[in-house]
Amino acid sequence: MAVLPVRLLPDPVLKAPTQPFDTIDDDARSVGADLLDTMSDASHSVGIAAPQIGVSARAFAVDVSGHSKADSCHGAFVLFNPVLILATNYVVGREGCMSVPDLTGNVARATEVVVQGLDMDGRLRTIEANAFEARALLHELDHVDGLLFLDRVESLSTDVFRRRRYR
């Protein structure tokens, strides 16, 4: 249980293949706790995936509590071995990522999703989410597959923007 440094591009862990969890044991729960701690420590963060804290494993944490764009909200939770069951109603929105400083991009994401995974007790959990929580889930699912929002941008000339400042 610790706040870990958020890995930044070009750290290869962000693109490395990830391993599923065989069982949700204390080691797995420790990764889950680190995800929750690091997420709540990083301001503006509503989600974080294991590769972002240097762990090549299939897990992420999401918490959209209190976010103005959220509709569905399942509070703070961790999913291990997450699987996307359903994704529909795509909408373009502009995203940034803690691991990709200075850039933002327009990405089409489903606004209604069903995601399944194991919770901290190893029980199967089914999350039906929409709106902002759906976008957060999809962004984190991508991290688990080594994909960054930069891999989702469809038109470079109009879809990638500097976030903060010129260099």
| Contact residues for another protein, defined by CB under 8 A | 44-48, 69, 93-98, 104, 132, 135-136, 139-140, 157-158, 161-167
Active site residues: 140
Is the Cβ of residue 4 or residue 122 nearer to another protein in the bound state? 4
Please give the Cα distance from 17 to 1 (Å, whole number): 24
Sign of the CA dihedral 29, 32, 34, 40? negative
| Least distance (Å) between residue 118 CB and another protein | 22
φ, ψ at 141 (rounded to 5°): -60, -40
| Least distance (Å) between residue 98 CB and another protein | 7
Please give the Cα distance from 24 to 57 (Å, whole number): 12
Is the Cβ of residue 45 or residue 81 nearer to another protein in the bound state? 45
| Least distance (Å) between residue 7 CB and another protein | 14
Is the Cβ of residue 24 or residue 50 nearer to another protein in the bound state? 50
Please give the Cα distance from 16 to 21 (Å, whole number): 16
Please give the Cα distance from 96 to 113 (Å, whole number): 20
Listed residue (38, 41, 27, 1) closest to 143, CA to CA: 38
